[in-house]
Amino acid sequence: MVPARADVIELAAAGALTIAALALGVLAQRFAGTRLARWWGERVVGTHVEGLRPRIAAIVRHGSAALLLAIVYAAWPWGPLSAAAIGFALASAGTLTAHQLMRGVGIPRWAAYVVELVVFIALFSHAVGGLEPITSTLDAIGVTVGSRRLSLLAAVEALLTIVALMAMLRLANRAMAHTIARAPALDPTQKVLAQKLAGIAAVVVAFLFGIDLLGIDLTAFAVFSGAFGLAVGFGMQKTIGNLIAGIILLMDRSIKPGDVIAVGTSFGWVNKIGVRAVSVVTRDGKEHLIPNEDLMTREVENWSYSDRNVRVRIAVRVPYDCDLAAAQALMLRAARESPRVLDTPKPNVWLTAFGTDGAEHEILAWISDPESGVGNVRSDVLNRLWLMFRDAGIGIPFAQRDIYVRQWPGESS
C-alpha cells in the first residue's frame, strides 16, 4: 500500500526534525559537554570517577538528543510511520545515554546490556503504540506465592531498580569522597573516617530506598531476623570485627595513612585503611594486607605516631691498635655527610663494648623519612666510612685465634 502524500510529507518533516535534534546533540557535546566534563572533574568528583569523566561529553550529546526527540514526539500527533521513525531515534539516543552512564560508574556489562535492552524496548514501544501490551504479557508470566505475585514484569522492575540504585550509590560515594577530601578543616585521618561513615550511611539509605521502591514489607523479615542475626554472629564475626576495628583505628588515630609501622615481619608505610584490612607497602614494593583486628590485638611499632624522627643504630668495630679518637671522628663525619641524616638531632658515636676482636661502637643517626627505608642509610654511612678508614690507614678487625701446640703426634715428651 502506497502512503498518502500527507503521510510522506509528515514523514519527511519528522525525519528533518530528527536529524536536527541529533545535530543539536552534537553541538551540545562540542560546546557544553567538554566544559561540563572539566567542571565535573575539578569540582565534583576529581579523580574518583575516572570512568565517568571521559563519557560526560557523550552523555550530554545523547541525552540532549533524546530530550529534544521526546519534545518533538509530544509536540504533534504523528502518524504511525513518523512516530516509528522518531521513536526509533529516541530509543537509540536513550539507550546510548543509559550505556554511557552505566559503564561510566562501573556497572557490570551483563547488567548494563539488560537495562539497555529494556530501555530501548520501552521507549520504542511507547512511541509506536504504548507499553500496555508488553507489560500485560510480562505480568501474565509468573506465579503467585502467598499474597504476592511474582512475575517477569516484577523481575524486570526489580532489576532496573537495583541497577539504578547501584549507579546512584557509586556516584554518590565518589562525589562525597571527593568533597570530604577537599575539606580543609579535616586532617587525613578524619577524612578517611568521614568517607567510610558516609559510605556506610549511603548504603543504608540506598537499601531502605530500594525496599520502599520494590514494595517489600519489612515486617516480612521479622521471621528471619533471629536466624540472620545468628548467621552474622557466627559466619561474619571476623568481617564485622574488622570493620569495627578499622573505625576504631581511625577514631583514636593510633594508625594513620602515611604512618610507618612494623607488625610482625611486615614493615612499611600505611597506604590505605580499608573496611577489612590495612594496606602496608614495604620497601620491596610489596603490599601487605593486614586485618584491622590484628592491629588492635597484636603489638604494633608505629615509627611516626607522635614524631617522624627515627634513630638509626649502625654498628662499627675498629681494631685496638688504632687511634680511637680519630676513628670516632671519622664515624661522626660519615654520618653527617650522609644526605638523609639530620643535623638536628645531631648524630653521635658511642663506645659500647670491648669485644674479643676490637672496640665496638654504635653510630646513632636520626632521619625524618622512615618510609624511604633504614637499610639504605646504614649502607650509605658504612660505604663512606670504609673509604675514610682506608685513607686514614684504619683497618677493619676480623677474628684471629692463636693455637699453641704442646706436643706433636708421635713425639715423646
Q: For the domain that residue 226 is a member of, what is the CATH number?
A: 2.30.30.60
DSSP state at residue 142: E
Cα dihedral sign, 125-128-130-134: negative
- pLDDT, residue 48, reads 44
Polymer length of the chain:
413
* Residue 136 maps to a domain: no
Which residues fall within 8 angstroms of residue 388, CB to CB, at 6 or more apart?
330, 333, 334
- Contact between residue 251 and residue 275 where contact means Cβ atoms under 8 Å apart: no
* Residue 409 maps to a domain: no
C-alpha cell at 14: 519528522
Asked if residue 372 and residue 280 are part of one domain, the reply reads no
* Residue 324 maps to a domain: yes
Ranges of residues in the chain whose predicted pLDDT is under 50 = 1-2, 46-49
C-alpha cell at 382: 658504612
- The count of domains in the chain is 3
* Domain limit, last residue, from 130, 146, 180: 130
Which residues fall within 8 angstroms of residue 5, CB to CB, at 6 or more apart?
none
C-alpha cell at 298: 597484636
The whole-chain average pLDDT of the chain stands at 79
* Residue 171 maps to a domain: no
CA distance 95 to 116: 5
Q: Mark residue 365 as left, alpha or beta (left: phi above 0; alpha: psi -120 to 50; beta: remaining).
A: beta
* Domain limit, last residue, from 306, 325, 354: 306
DSSP line for 161-191 = HHHHHHHHHHHHHHHHHHHHHT-TTS-HHHH
- pLDDT, residue 5, reads 67
Domain encompassing residue 357: 310-392
- pLDDT, residue 49, reads 45
C-alpha cell at 63: 541525552
Asked if residue 18 and residue 91 are part of one domain, the reply reads yes
Range 118-144 burial, b when 16+ CB lie within 10 A, else e: bbbebbbbbbeeeeeebbeebeeeeee
DSSP line for 262-280 = EETTEEEEEEEE-SSEEEE
Asked if residue 107 and residue 9 are part of one domain, the reply reads yes
Asked if residue 314 and residue 261 are part of one domain, the reply reads no
Question: What is the pTM assigned to this prediction?
Answer: 0.50
Asked if residue 333 and residue 298 are part of one domain, the reply reads no
Asked if residue 300 and residue 331 are part of one domain, the reply reads no
- pLDDT, residue 350, reads 93
Q: Single out the residue of 222, 202, 291 nearest to residue 255, CA to CA.
A: 291
Asked if residue 301 and residue 369 are part of one domain, the reply reads no
List the CATH number of the domain containing 343. Answer: 3.30.70.100
* Residue 206 maps to a domain: no
C-alpha separations of 363 from 355, 370, 372, 376, 399 in Å = 16, 17, 19, 15, 22
Asked if residue 16 and residue 120 are part of one domain, the reply reads yes
Asked if residue 323 and residue 298 are part of one domain, the reply reads no
CA distance 401 to 71: 100
C-alpha separations of 396 from 90, 266, 335, 400, 402 in Å = 85, 33, 18, 12, 19
Q: How far apart are the first and last CA of the chain?
A: 136
Asked if residue 264 and residue 344 are part of one domain, the reply reads no
CB pairs under 8 A, 24+ apart, for 15-20?
15/85, 17/72, 17/86, 18/69, 18/72, 18/85, 18/86, 18/89, 20/68
- pLDDT, residue 47, reads 47
* Domain limit, last residue, from 103, 130, 157: 130
* Residue 176 maps to a domain: no
Asked if residue 361 and residue 315 are part of one domain, the reply reads yes
- pLDDT, residue 226, reads 59
**Which residue's C-alpha cell is 541525552?**
63
* Residue 412 maps to a domain: no
Asked if residue 324 and residue 287 are part of one domain, the reply reads no
* Residue 86 maps to a domain: yes
**Which residue's C-alpha cell is 577530601?**
181
